[in-house]
Amino acid sequence: DAGVIQSPRHEVTEMGQEVTLRCKPISGHNSLFWYRQTMMRGLELLIYFNNNVPIDDSGMPEDRFSAKMPNASFSTLKIQPSEPRDSAVYFCASRGTGGSNQPQHFGDGTRLSIL
């Protein structure tokens, strides 16, 4: 079975530009998570969805960040306008039914560099 698929793998863009990160969860999984990882702050949860509904977005840094999950097989994380401090690795993870005692399965991440 295919794992969690993220695109792009790398993104380099200039500050002020809009950035869209994409994620396809594992088929049948009903929870999806967006994380950001930096050296300074480690792994931070940004937002997660359960059955396509956002459950907790308290980790979203500010209004420049938005996330959507229009259906069970696709989610986007958008940053507009982007800033150099947004440079990080962004992970998407999905989880099967059974709640938070089930493991999360991670994509390979998107390395984002804002110049």
# binding residues, another protein (CB under 8 A): 21
> Reduced to 3 DSSP states, what percent helix, strand and coil does the chain have, rounded to the nearest 5?
5, 55, 40
Cis? peptide before 81, omega within 30° of 0:
yes
Among 11, 65, 109, 114, binds another protein (CB under 8 A): 109
Kindly state the smallest distance separating residue 14's Cβ from another protein, in Å: 24
Q: Indicate which single residue of 50, 52, 73, 76 sits in contact with another protein (rule: CB under 8 A).
A: 50
Is the CB of residue 70 less than 8 Å from the CB of residue 97?
A: no
* Amino acid identity, position 84: P
Contact 14/22 with Cβ under 8 angstroms?
no
Please report how close the Cβ of residue 91 comes to another protein at its closest, in angstroms.
6
5 sits near another protein (criterion: CB under 8 A): no
Binding site for another protein (CB under 8 A): 33, 42-43, 45, 48, 50, 55-56, 89, 91, 93, 99-101, 103-106, 108-109, 111
